[in-house]
Amino acid sequence: MEEIKTAAQLYRYMKNQLKASGIEDFDLESRILLSYVLKEEPFFVYMKPEKPVSEEDVQKAMALTEKRKEGVPSRYLTRKAYFMDFEFYVDENVLIPRQDTEVLVQKALDFLKDNPKAKVLDIGTGSGCIAVSIALLNPACTVDATDISKEALAVARKNALLNGAEKRVRFIESDLFSGLSDKYDMIVSNPPYIKPSEFLTLQKEVRCHEPVLALVADEEGLAFYRRIAKEAKSFLNDGGFLLFETGYDQARSVYRIMEEEGFTFLEITKDYNGIERVVSGRMNE
Ligand code: GLN
């Protein structure tokens, strides 16, 4: 093997390794891992290809490359993900924030324009990405965020702190609504929604590394929508909003669930790929 002395050589090595093991975004992912090891910006390798690399950094980069080849997502290796342009800490206790979920946050922010001081609840906050982003992008609202997982809540708290939102978001350990007593103007949730029968078809990165508790739901993936839509009614003020992220083929079913529970002004919003992704509605308006 050629000796690795510069950032560009190390980058080439990592890229080839990831490409050969079938990783689709091998270029981006090798830059993410390399810049993490060298404590540089993701594009630095184009700017400073001749930057010398130490033997220790080469070893570190190679070890991460091996882990990535085994299926560990880069975001867990670097412990960092980006959502709504904010940085979030992630580990295997929480899902990695997805760009699709930004549509849910955007929709929530649109509705909050008319009621900026709203009380917002995020059910199943995971990394806290939804709750923290809403708090930061709508500074007059207050946000409560729940999760059944203690470990996830520790991550979410860390993310509020990391982004300076720790005074704005209250984290509550709760199985859906069980630990709550307040009423809210808006409830948002990106609940687990993968059908048990589809679990085995997920990429190994997701299937073997992301928390199954955050992914899979009974009743063809609809169990949490049913429970949340039913119970939300006792926790929403009149005219309050309920917004869900849904799986790629679930928006129509979730629309019907919300309709049956009496929600009105129902709307389906597509994500950046044109997939129906967010279902929203209001109570008693
Ligand atoms: N609310 C978190 C997110 O959107 C977690 C979602 C989940 O774990 N199902 O990333």
Among 120, 130, 149, say which to mutate for ligand 1: greatest number of ligand atoms within 8 Å of CB: 130
Ligand 1 in reach of 130 Cβ (< 6 A): yes
For ligand 1, atom 5, name the residue with the nearest CA.
126
For ligand 1, atom 10, name the residue with the nearest CA.
97
132 touches 188 (CB < 8 A):
no
Ligand 1 in reach of 214 Cβ (< 6 A): yes
**Whether the model pTM is above 0.85:** yes
Ligand 1 in reach of 129 Cβ (< 6 A): yes
Q: Which of 118, 124, 167 is nearest to 145 (CA)?
A: 124
pLDDT at position 285 = 63
Q: For 107, left (φ over 0), alpha (ψ -120 to 50), or beta?
A: alpha
225 touches 244 (CB < 8 A):
yes
Torsion of CA 213, 218, 224, 230, to 10 degrees: -150
In the numeric block, which tokens belong to residue 171?
């984290």
Share of residues in the chain with pLDDT > 90 (%): 95
pLDDT at position 266 = 98
Given the CA of residue 94, which atom of ligand 1 is nearest to it?
Answer: 8
Q: What is the whole-number distance in angstroms between the Cα of residue 35 and the centre of ligand 1?
A: 27
pLDDT at position 124 = 98
For ligand 1, atom 7, name the residue with the nearest CA.
214
Among 92, 93, 94, say which to mutate for ligand 1: greatest number of ligand atoms within 8 Å of CB: 94
For ligand 1, atom 1, name the residue with the nearest CA.
125
- DSSP label at residue 175: S
Can you tell me the distance from the alpha carbon of 247 to that of 210, in angstroms, rounded to the nearest whole number? 16
Ligand 1 in reach of 281 Cβ (< 6 A): no
In 3-state terms, what secondary structure has residue 87?
strand
Burial of 151 (0-12, 13-18, 19+ CB in 10 A): middle
pLDDT at position 43 = 86
Dihedral sign computed on CA atoms, order 198, 245, 258, 276: negative
Ligand 1 in reach of 101 Cβ (< 6 A): yes
Q: What is the whole-number distance in angstroms between the Cα of residue 49 and the centre of ligand 1?
A: 37
Q: Which residues contact 134 (CB under 8 A, 6 or more apart)?
A: 105, 108, 109, 112, 120, 122, 141, 143, 188
Ligand 1 in reach of 156 Cβ (< 6 A): no
For the segment 112-160, what is each residue's pLDDT rounded down to a tens digit?
Answer: 999 999 999 999 999 999 999 999 999 999 999 999 999 999 999 999 9
Strand duo 169-173 + 236-245: pairing: unpaired
Look up tokens 């429970």; give the residue. Answer: 227
Can you tell me the distance from the alpha carbon of 148 to that of 172, in angstroms, rounded to the nearest whole number? 9
In the numeric block, which tokens belong to residue 26?
């091998």
Q: Which of 36, 9, 14, 38 is nearest to 27 (CA)?
A: 14
Ligand 1 in reach of 145 Cβ (< 6 A): no
Would you write out the chain's pLDDT as a tens digit for each of its 285 residues? Answer: 668 999 999 999 999 999 999 999 999 999 999 999 999 988 888 899 999 999 999 999 999 999 999 999 999 999 999 999 999 999 999 999 999 999 999 999 999 999 999 999 999 999 999 999 999 999 999 999 999 999 999 999 999 999 999 999 999 999 999 989 999 999 999 999 999 999 999 999 999 999 999 999 999 999 999 999 999 999 999 999 999 999 999 999 999 999 999 999 999 999 999 999 999 999 986
pLDDT at position 214 = 96
Q: What is the whole-number distance in angstroms between the Cα of residue 97 and the centre of ligand 1?
A: 7
Ligand 1 in reach of 74 Cβ (< 6 A): no
pLDDT at position 284 = 84
Given the CA of residue 192, which atom of ligand 1 is nearest to it?
Answer: 9
